[in-house]
Every structure is written in C-alpha cells, then in structure tokens.
C-alpha cells in the first residue's frame, strides 16, 4: 500500500479538501493528490474523496453544477472498476445529484445550519467503511450543513433497507432526514456518501478519532 494514492477533488468552493488531506497524510500517512474538477485523468489515483464545501456556490441546488464537471463524468468508469469513492457532506450531495447514490439532500427541517457533534449508529458493514465489530456500535462525528436532510421515496427507502445500503443513522436526528439516514452506500459497497465529517474526527486534540477508520478504509480493497 506504499504507493496507494487518494485523489481529493477540488471544485471551486470546496473547503474541506485540505482537512481531508491533513487527516490522510498527517494522521494516517496515506499519500494524497489534489484533483482539479476539470481533470478527467484518474489513472494515478487508487481511491477518491469528494470533500465538503460549497461547490459552485451551491448554485441551483447543492451539487447540481458539480455533476457536469469533467471529473464527475470520468468517475463513472472509476466506480464501475470497483475503486472506492467517499463523498463527505457536499461530496454526498454531488453523489446523489449525479446518480451514484439514490435520494437527495434538502434543506434541514429547522432551516438552521447545524454545526455540532452527533452520535451515529453504524447500521451496515457493506463496503467495510466502518468498524462495526460489535452489534449496535455507535460513533461520534461532527456535522456542519444547512442542506443535509436525506430524502427519498418509499420504494427507494425499502431498497436501501432490503439491500443493507444504509451505513449510518443519527441517534437524535438533527435535520429531519428520512429514517434518520446520515450515510448510504451503493449496492457494490465501493461508494459511500455521508453528511458527517470523518476528517474532522481524526485526532484526540480536536475532539475524537472516530473518523479514522472510515478514512483508513479508503486503502482497503
């Protein structure tokens, strides 16, 4: 895994790209490379993170414009090849807008921008993104979003439940998400989208290390 490189996508308006790089390089000694959104060459990265922020100023809808970037166009093949893609916050919004994950993220029920630590239940082990060795394992991660209310129709929700695609659920639903959903995976398990920020929970100095496992799992096959 020495040469394993995680690509961190930078859109105009991304603002967690450097946090992700700090967490991967500084806390986990994993090599990273920034990928500008106009790039479509993904040949020298082994996994990709779509970081949080406000890509394209959240114009139209969060993630709506990013969907048409060269990089997202190239992502389809990358995902099909089984390589891992992690979408955090705005990255999750981009993954739903571009159809890699079902559903959509809409304005929080109470209209507040919520910046807080939340308790989360690890629901599924699909893709190995979370360390749920015990049943009912709980982790604490920070959230920071105004549009994080996960919404999907009942058929989609049933499909998510039947196929164990719900990765994380809020213990005390802060934003009104359907079924308390905080993160989901695709069917293959190689794409994870979540509203909480694992990269902000990688050092005891800043409040916890519950995010380390998810970032570290980027380098698992």
Partner 1 sequence: MDQFAVKVFVRLRPSVLDPAGEATKSASIKLGAEGIKSIRIGKMIEVKIEGNGENEVREKIDLLCDRLFANTVIEDYEYSLEKL
Residues with a catalytic annotation lie at 89, 197, 199
Cβ neighbour number for residue 29 with a 10 Å cutoff? 9
Measured from the CB atom, the residue of 27 and 114 that comes closer to partner 1 is 114
114 is a site residue for partner 1 (CB under 8 A): no
Question: What does the per-residue mask of binding to partner 1 show for 152-191, with x meaning CB under 8 A?
Answer: xx----------------------x---------------
Report H helices in the chain.
17-21, 28, 70-80, 90-97, 154-162, 212-216
Among 33, 80, 109, 171, binds partner 1 (CB under 8 A): 109
According to DSSP, the β-strands at 47-50 and 84-88 are: parallel
Where in 41-80 is the site for partner 1 (CB under 8 A)? 60-61, 64, 68
The beta strand positions in the chain, using DSSP E, are 5-10, 31-36, 47-50, 84-88, 104-106, 114-122, 138-145, 149-151, 166-170, 181-185, 191-194
∠ CA 98-102-104, nearest 5°, is: 75
110 is a site residue for partner 1 (CB under 8 A): yes
Number of residues that bind partner 1 (CB under 8 A): 20
Which of the stretches 9-17, 26-34, 101-109, 193-201 binds partner 1 when contact is defined by CB under 8 A? Answer: 101-109
Which of the stretches 32-40, 98-106, 126-134, 181-189 binds partner 1 when contact is defined by CB under 8 A? Answer: 98-106
Which of the stretches 35-43, 78-86, 95-103, 126-134 binds partner 1 when contact is defined by CB under 8 A? Answer: 95-103
According to DSSP, the β-strands at 114-122 and 166-170 are: antiparallel
Among 21, 69, 96, 190, binds partner 1 (CB under 8 A): 96
Q: Cβ of residue 87: shortest distance to partner 1, in angstroms?
A: 16
Cβ neighbour number for residue 206 with a 10 Å cutoff? 10
Task: Specify the residue for token string 């807080």.
Answer: 116
């Amino acid at each position: 895994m020495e040469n394993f490189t995680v690509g961190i996508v930078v859109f105009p308006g991304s603002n967690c790209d450097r946090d992700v790089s700090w967490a991967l390089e500084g806390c986990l000694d994993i090599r990273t490379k920034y990928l500008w959104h106009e790039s479509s060459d993904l040949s020298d990265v082994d996994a990709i993170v779509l970081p949080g922020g406000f890509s394209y100023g959240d114009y139209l809808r969060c993630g709506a414009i990013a969907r048409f970037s060269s990089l997202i166009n190239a992502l389809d093949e990358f995902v099909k090849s089984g390589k891992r893609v992690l979408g955090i916050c705005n990255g999750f919004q981009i993954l739903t807008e571009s159809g890699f994950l079902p559903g959509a993220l809409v304005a929080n029920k109470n209209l507040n921008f919520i910046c807080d630590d939340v308790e989360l239940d690890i629901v599924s082990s699909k893709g190995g993104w979370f360390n749920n060795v015990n049943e009912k394992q709980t982790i604490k991660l920070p959230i920071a979003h105004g549009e994080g209310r996960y919404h999907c129709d009942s058929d989609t929700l049933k499909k998510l439940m039947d196929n164990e695609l719900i990765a994380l659920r809020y213990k005390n639903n802060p934003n009104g998400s359907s079924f308390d959903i905080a993160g989901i995976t695709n069917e293959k398990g190689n794409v994870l989208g979540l509203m909480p920020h694992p990269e902000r929970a990688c050092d005891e100095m800043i409040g916890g290390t519950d995010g380390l496992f998810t970032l570290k799992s980027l380098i698992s096959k």
